[in-house]
Chain A
Amino acid sequence: MKILVCIKEVPHSESKPEIDFDTNSLIYDRDKSSFIINSSDEYALEEGLKLKDTIPGTELDVITAGTQLQIPVIRRALEMGADKGFILKKEPHNDPPASALIAAFVKDKNYDLILTGVMSDDNMEFITGPSIAALINYPWASSVTAMSVDVQNNSVKAEREIDSATLEIVTLKLPALITVQSGINRPRYPSLSNKLSAKIKPVPLIEIGPPPDAICPVEIISLHFPESKKGAVELNGNTGEKSQALLAILRSRGEI
């Protein structure tokens, strides 16, 4: 079985972006911010590694779009147990989207299963996984909270959360693409032997030509910080004073 896991490097959730108002883009100071594998992508990687552990002969590759700056997240995935890692060359903020590059890359590679996270923590678009699948004509299921592969029937069964009271269980023929929700498993720590072998693996930077049919661009006309809710109060003072202020509000409403 051949598995591809698509990962993205994202700033740590506590990193604070700045707005470049000239180009309407977000900037993270790479010296002050830490960068990690996008959380749901890491769960997707673990889900793939679990399949590699249980299905003999499984190969698992990881891929991302970016530049040399993204080598550390690919290296981390190799340390966790991925066989090969690739970076598809993409300049930040520029078209084409990562989904178009990955779709072009996988077209002739015969992956049986493509895994990725349900959304990226920075852009929060929920868009890359289903877009790749639609471009390469794989069936897909997104926001998956449990999955199993049936090798004999060449299918994957995936559980999705539809709402708080309903689960949908969908069975798809392979090849297929699954986007994974966070919390589905416990991502492993790299073993020492994997760490050593990952060190010497090459991480090729691959150039993909522009996709044949570019769709109409979406222009960012403004970026700003959110405004506070109308009538909101911020409690000031030391911890004790803030406690008293909150207590006064709740007491005046008869809540406490």
Chain B
Amino acid sequence: MREYMITVIIEHRKGIITQHSIDAVNSALYLASIKRCSLRGVVLSDEHFIDEEKFIKEFNIDLEVLLNSKLADYSAEGYIEVLSGFFRNSPSHFIIIPHTPQGYDYAPGLAIHLEIPCITAVTGIRKHNDNAAFQRLYAGGRIVSEVVPECGKAVITVNPSPGKVPQIRNESAPSISVKKVNASLERTVEVLLKESVPRAGDLLRAPVVIAAGKGVATEENMSLLRDLARLFPGSSIAGSRGACDIGLTDYALQVGMTGKSISPRIYFACGISGSPQHMAGLRGAGTIVAINRDPDAPIHRMADISIVERIEDFIPEFIRAAKQ
């Protein structure tokens, strides 16, 4: 059996590869270029993986498809059972998993079963001597750390990379292997998927989005954001998870990893700290305007236009100026 240093687990919905998986493959390709080693993709599914020809064409890496009828829908138990068995027979130094509600659900457990460390929510990969250093954020994005697993092995969950990843190709022709695997799933009684009500059509299409964070704090400030939105035809209000949690905006308007991914021309981040979970929903955004009274808020380092001001001071003043 061929030995692989790096394996990337491909997330899909009924055979359709998710955008996060494509990002994860790109991160894995980049890591492979640093480590100068081979790379493979692994897919778990209940039927023949329908996207594999497209996959091979797009990424040009080897692919292993693991099939079992109990893998129709994701479950931590099923993925851990199948993947820990798979990696015990066919080890990999680095296992790259998209940092999604699915990925971070099973990655730590897989690492425990394989007795290797788990490094989550990685935002960047850098060459460090002959090794790779993984970047991740602390304290809501206020601090960047770079970590190296001492044994050169780890399960890694990757956030979508904010920058462009160099396209690196494997030299050899890719191979596909499809095999049936065992999955008992003794304690997962049932898994159902349900469509949540998408009520944010306007948010997804809006050219300008005015987004509230926890820092907006009050209903009075929220109405200032609505006044600001009226200056931009077709604009929409949105909120960070923190803003939704305190009732400033509806969860249907939440932007971020567990909310919507949007790509407006202009994004006003009002009272938003700029956590990586929030920024994950803004990959396609054009100009980010940050309005936050805290000069140290991470959002000021990710914004194109940074304004250190209180919401209640700046927005009325800006609206007055715009109306003159």
Could you list which residues of chain A lie within 8 angstroms of chain B, going by C-beta atoms? 11, 13-14, 16-17, 19, 26, 39, 99, 121-127, 130-131, 133-135, 139-143, 155, 160-173, 176, 181-183, 213, 215-229, 231-235, 239-240, 242-244, 246-247, 249-250, 255-256
CB under 8 Å from chain A, chain B span 192-219? 192-196, 198, 200, 208, 214
Bits for B47-80, please: 1 = Cβ < 8 Å to A, else 0.
Answer: 0000000000000000000000000011111001
Stretch from B34-42, B173-181, B260-268 that touches the partner: B260-268
Q: Is B113 an interface residue (CB 8 A)?
A: yes
List B contacts of A143 (CB < 8 A). 101, 104-105, 258
The reply to whether A19 and B321 form a contact with Cβ atoms under 8 Å apart is: no
A-B contact pairs, 22 of them (CB 8 A): A17-B139, A126-B104, A126-B121, A127-B104, A131-B111, A134-B113, A139-B187, A143-B105, A162-B102, A164-B259, A166-B195, A167-B194, A167-B195, A168-B194, A169-B190, A170-B188, A170-B191, A215-B116, A226-B141, A226-B298, A234-B306, A247-B318
Q: How far is the CB of B60 from chain A (nearest CB, A)?
A: 27
Q: Is B147 an interface residue (CB 8 A)?
A: yes
List A contacts of B142 (CB < 8 A). 16-17, 225-226
The reply to whether B101 and A162 form a contact with Cβ atoms under 8 Å apart is: yes
Shortest Cβ distance from B314 into A: residue: A239
Q: Is B15 an interface residue (CB 8 A)?
A: no
Q: For the complex, would chain B's binding face be called helix, strand, loop or mixed by DSSP majority?
A: mixed
Shortest Cβ distance from B141 into A: residue: A226
Q: Check A183/B241 contact, CB under 8 A, given A162-B101, A163-B101, A226-B144.
A: yes
Instruction: Tell me the complex Cα distance, A122–B198, Å.
Output: 31
Instruction: Tell me the complex Cα distance, A115–B146, Å.
Output: 30
Q: Is B16 an interface residue (CB 8 A)?
A: no
Q: How far is the CB of A162 from chain B (nearest CB, A)?
A: 6
Q: How far is the CB of A45 from chain B (nearest CB, A)?
A: 15
Kindly identify which residue among B76, B150, B300, B305 contacts A139, using a CB–CB cutoff of 8 Å: B76
Instruction: Tell me the complex Cα distance, A235–B136, Å.
Output: 28
Interface size on B, residues (CB 8 A): 103
Instruction: Tell me the complex Cα distance, A180–B271, Å.
Output: 25
A-B contact count (CB 8 A): 259
Kindly identify which residue among A170, A216, A227, A235 contacts B307, using a CB–CB cutoff of 8 Å: A235
Q: Closest 8 CB pairs between A and B?
A: A216-B151, A134-B109, A183-B245, A134-B112, A171-B189, A126-B104, A139-B187, A130-B108
Q: How far is the CB of B273 from chain A (nearest CB, A)?
A: 7
Shortest Cβ distance from B101 into A: residue: A143
List A contacts of B133 (CB < 8 A). 221-222
The reply to whether A121 and B140 form a contact with Cβ atoms under 8 Å apart is: yes
The reply to whether A161 and B258 form a contact with Cβ atoms under 8 Å apart is: yes
Q: How far is the CB of B210 from chain A (nearest CB, A)?
A: 13
Shortest Cβ distance from B131 into A: residue: A221
Q: Check A165/B309 contact, CB under 8 A, given A216-B153, A218-B119, A247-B322.
A: no
Q: How far is the CB of A138 from chain B (nearest CB, A)?
A: 8
Shortest Cβ distance from B19 into A: residue: A163
Q: Check A122/B138 contact, CB under 8 A, given A183-B245, A221-B147, A228-B300.
A: yes
List A contacts of B236 (CB < 8 A). none
List A contacts of B138 (CB < 8 A). 17, 26, 122-124, 223
List A contacts of B260 (CB < 8 A). 164
List A contacts of B167 (CB < 8 A). none
Q: Is B244 an interface residue (CB 8 A)?
A: yes
Kindly identify which residue among A133, A220, A221, A222 contacts B109, using a CB–CB cutoff of 8 Å: A133
Kindly identify which residue among B137, B148, B313 contacts A218, using a CB–CB cutoff of 8 Å: B148
List B contacts of A163 (CB < 8 A). 18, 100-101, 258
Kindly identify which residue among B104, B107, B188, B298 contacts A172, using a CB–CB cutoff of 8 Å: B188
The reply to whether B301 and A124 form a contact with Cβ atoms under 8 Å apart is: no
Q: How far is the CB of B136 from chain A (nearest CB, A)?
A: 8
Q: How far is the CB of A21 from chain B (nearest CB, A)?
A: 12
The reply to whether A218 and B117 form a contact with Cβ atoms under 8 Å apart is: yes
Instruction: Tell me the complex Cα distance, A160–B75, Å.
Output: 11
Shortest Cβ distance from A123 into B: residue: B138
Q: How far is the CB of B230 from chain A (nearest CB, A)?
A: 11
Shortest Cβ distance from B196 into A: residue: A167
List B contacts of A229 (CB < 8 A). 301-304
The reply to whether A213 and B77 form a contact with Cβ atoms under 8 Å apart is: no
Kindly identify which residue among B75, B144, B149, B296 contacts A170, using a CB–CB cutoff of 8 Å: B75
CB under 8 Å from chain A, chain B span 239-260? 241-242, 244-245, 251, 254, 258-260
Shortest Cβ distance from A124 into B: residue: B121
Shortest Cβ distance from A130 into B: residue: B108
